[in-house]
Structure 1
Amino acid sequence: MHLSRRSTLASLSRWAALLAAQRVLSAPNAGLTRLANPRFESDPFALGVASGQPRPRSVVLWTRLMADPGQAGAELPPALIPVTWQVADDDNFARIVRSGTVLADPAQAHSVRVLVEHLQPARRYCYRFLAGGVASPVGRTRTAPAENADVDRLRLALASCQHYEQGWFTAHREIAGQDLDAVVFVGDYIYDSSNRRFLLRAHEAEEPCTLDEFRARHVTYKRDPDLQACHAAHPWILAWDDHEVRNDYAGVFGDEETGSPQEFLRMRTAAYQAYFEHQPLAPDQLPGATGVRMHDRFRWGRLADLWMLDGRQYRSPQACNAPGVAGGHVRWHCHALADNQGTVLGADQERWLQDGLRSATGRWKLIGQSTQMSPWGLPGPDGRKLVYSDGWDGYPAARTRLLEHIATHQLQNVVFLGGDVHRHVAARLRANPDDPRTPVVASEFVTSSITTAGLPESLMSLIRRSNADILHARSDERGYMALDVTDRSLHCVARATGFPVLAHAQLHTQARFRVDSGRAGPQRE
């Protein structure tokens, strides 16, 4: 029976909702034993602690109880385990300001998350968890300023793409030691795949497909001491990209190797569940029948608004692929690239972002999303550009809609923050990125990867020469970006080290840029 593309998508969406609903319906803890006095043979907090989603009066705390992750087959009992949480003004917990008890449920891998409310704005806090007489490491977090507060500074670290096998998380070690308000992580927290060419330390197994396998992959990453230190030092604000599930997946479709659409959706549901279990996400973000709400907005007083976008869950399949197949490719003659129906964000999220940008009152409008917005295609033999179809170059109409919205409403101080492409980038963004005659309306900074290999520098040189609005681009070094936002300007420092990143690598400053308030486009410092 022949089905149209629209009816196929509708059918798969209903199937995805059924899968997610079954996941939620399988989660209730009715009938499980509650361990009043749990006992642990090893440190149950070996995966560390984390905080996230800082608001003026609240923050989310996370941990996961686990038997010794170095012991094969080690498991906690299939029971509810009480976990006490404490938030204090001091490292010694002499002045506890909030506390409570939650149950670690085996249906969520004994992970716990607490939305701690009734905190004071713009305050630093310490937190910890206790279970069975064992205390977790102490984490430090902070709340956002009140929404109407005059704020002098916002200091962020921008990070992305941490392939465990390709190096050590030295950048996280440096970030952990910085005086920051938050870490903005824009995707590829784990990697589903391997690349034997760059193997320095191994994943625990082959590509994950099931819930238990995705949980094991997250455990491999969470055990890294530098990553743990960075989570314990700062609140994190997270977006995801593709490698949390499969490379270049789009919405409800994977590539040819992921099997049928139903098999891919089953795997995606497992991946989403494992991601939720291992991140400081709010309790109401449990994967459900309508998917997972990942896009969000954060405010930092009157100084800045930050939107975090989901560029995977609602994405259209990449242009010029076989029907029902996702995956990025270098495209040359692909007329479907101009399809006005193509979307990265989905119609609802796109409207939500546009409405929010138009009504925002903060001086700076920061947009965190997973990849590079500015064009970086190469000229082909006949003058047409060769573009990679998984990036914004593969969705030019969607990109133009967003940037023209910024231009039409004369929005000031819009800065896009991206990752994914494994290079430090500073670029201008025009109302129509393919037309150099249109005005510059926004700025862009893209962080290099924490560890993952980038393009050869010879190719990057050609990309820079072919795209005049790219002011800086280097893919030969790994690292992160430090952002310092004030009322008058936004400063960006690209921190970097060589590839591969070794355990005792040192970072240096690769480049410095600033954006002056009221003037779109980065300027080199």
Structure 2
Amino acid sequence: NAMSAYGLYQASHSPAHALSNDGILSRSLPHYWYQFAHGDIEWFVTDSRTRRNLSAADRRILDVEQEQSLLEWLVNSTARVKFIVTSVMFYPDRTLNDGDAWQAFPQQRLRLLECIRRHGIKNVIFVSGDVHGSMTSRLCHSQDSDFEVHTIVASPFCNSELLPYAVASNFIFKPPMARTENGDYHYELTGPVISQDNFAHLHVAAQSIHVTFHDRDGYPLQVVDIPLR
């Protein structure tokens, strides 16, 4: 029932559906992930919910086809800015690992990061929600000063008392997120964790991305500039 409602009210309005010649949405939908572009900005919206594999032999949050499409897009896209949308957090990692976010799929997360680093891909931004708090953070590499990836977490638009707001102490900041033979990945917050109802507005300018978090009445709470390279 939940997936039927998603198909009717959300997926039906998204670029996941192709338009037929007469303008009617095609009824077949082979997958929920999709891409779209606006000017020199491109987006890859992942499906990190319905195509998971939890087997120990090949644990993944994205299926094989989707991961390959994402990697090819990262390498081949000429977009100045590349946004990757994921329903659950790419990072920072939480102190309480409930097995839901990318934290629980470290091998696949590392494959994506190593692809970005090895190919020198610039201006990759992960956009996510899920944790009932908003923040921005930067991921760097101990041996590759040219590598930098950012994340924007924007939620919740409306919270309830049953789901407590996130605070900075809910996340792990001291040890590296991942260790490899070529160096370590480590992250840091680039702004405070916002623990109230809010939404984010992104403005991509020539030199930076302006991220403004607003309260439920539209008043700005915090502004963060993410520099572009």
TM-score, scaled to structure 1: 0.36
- Determine if the alignment matches structure 1 residue 489 to structure 2 residue 204: no
SS of residue in 1 equivalent to 2:88? coil
Structure 2 contact 83–125 (Cα < 8 Å) conserved = yes
1:294 aligns with 32
Amino acid at match of 1:392: W
Could you tell me which residue of structure 2 aligns to residue 450 of structure 1? 157
Say if 2:102 is the partner of 1:374. Answer: no
Shift of 1:276: 6.1
Residue aligning to 2:182:
none
Q: What is the CA-CA distance between 1:396 and the residue it aligns to?
A: 1.0
Alpha-carbon distance change, 452 to 340 in structure 1, aligned in 2, over 3 angstroms: farther
Cα displacement (A) at 1:351: 0.8
Percent identity of equivalent pairs:
22
The corresponding residue for 1:354 is: 71
Deviations 1:412-432 (A, max 9, x none): 11111111222111011245x
Q: How far, CA to CA, are the matches of 2:11 and 2:170 in structure 1?
A: 39
Counterpart in the other structure of 2:170? 463
**Are the equivalent residues in 2 in contact too, given 1:343–1:398 (CA < 8 A)?**
yes
Q: Which runs of 5+ in 1 are unaligned?
A: 1-208, 210-244, 246-267, 320-338, 379-385, 498-505, 519-525
Moved beyond 6 Å, runs of 4+: none
SS at 2:220 equivalent? strand
Q: Quick check: which one's helix share is greater?
A: 1
One of 409, 416, 426 as aligned partner of 2:119: 409
Q: Name which one, 1 or 2, has greater alpha-carbon Rg.
A: 1
- Secondary structure class of the residue paired with 1:469: strand
Cα–Cα, structure 1 residues 430 and 359, in superposed 2: closer, same or farther, change >3 Å? same
**Is the contact made by 1:429 and 1:441 (CA closer than 8 Å) also made in structure 2?**
yes
Distance 1:493 1:448 in 2: 13
Q: What's the CA shift for 1:485?
A: 0.7
Shift of 1:279: 3.0
Q: How does 1:200-211 map to 2 (within 5 A)?
A: 209=1
- Match runs of 1:508-519 below 5 Å: 508-518=219-229
8 Å Cα contact 2:134-2:153 kept in structure 1? yes
Residues 472 and 486 (structure 1), Cα distance of their counterparts in 2 relative to 1, 3 Å cut: closer
Aligned-partner residue type, residue 190 of structure 2? L
Unaligned 5+ runs, structure 2 = 20-24, 175-186
Distance (Å, rounded) in 2 between the aligned partners of 1:488 and 1:456: 32
Q: Alpha-carbon deviation of 1:342? A: 1.4
CA distance in 1, matches of 2:124, 2:105: 20
Contact 1:485 1:491 (C-alpha < 8 Å) held by counterparts: yes
Which residue of structure 1 lines up, in the alignment, with residue 218 of structure 2?
Answer: 507
User: Considering only aligned residues, what root-mean-square deviation do their CA atoms show, in Å?
Assistant: 2.8
**SS of residue in 1 equivalent to 2:191:** strand
Cα distance change, pair 277–314 in 1 and its aligned pair in 2 (3 A): closer
Q: Distance in 2 between matches of 1:403 and 1:416?
A: 11
Residue pair 1:477, 1:496 contacting (<8 A) in 2 also: yes
- The answer to whether the aligner puts 1:395 opposite 2:105 as a matched pair is yes
Cα deviations across residues 236-256 of structure 1 (Å, max 9, x unaligned)? xxxxxxxxx3xxxxxxxxxxx
Shift of 1:377: 2.5
Q: Could you give the per-residue CA deviations for residues 305-330 of structure 1, whole angstroms, max 9, x where no partner exists?
A: 1111111221123x8xxxxxxxxxxx
SS in 2 for 1:492: strand
Q: Residues 464 and 273 from structure 1, CA distance in 2 versus in 1: closer, same or farther, beyond 3 angstroms?
A: closer
Gap change, CA 1:487 and 1:509, over 3 Å in 2: same
In the TM superposition, residue 278 of structure 1 has moved relative to its aligned partner by 5.5
Counterpart of 2:62, as a letter, is L
What is the aligned partner in structure 2 of residue 175 from structure 1?
A: none
Over 3 Å counting, the alpha-carbon distance change for 1:461 and 1:312 in structure 2 is: closer
Question: What residue in structure 1 maps to residue 178 of structure 2?
Answer: none
Distance 1:446 1:425 in 2: 5
The equivalent residue for 1:279 is 13
The code of the aligned residue for 2:150 comes to S
Equivalent position amino acid for 1:508 in 2: Y
**Could you tell me how far apart the structure 1 residues matched to 2:10 and 2:219 are?**
34
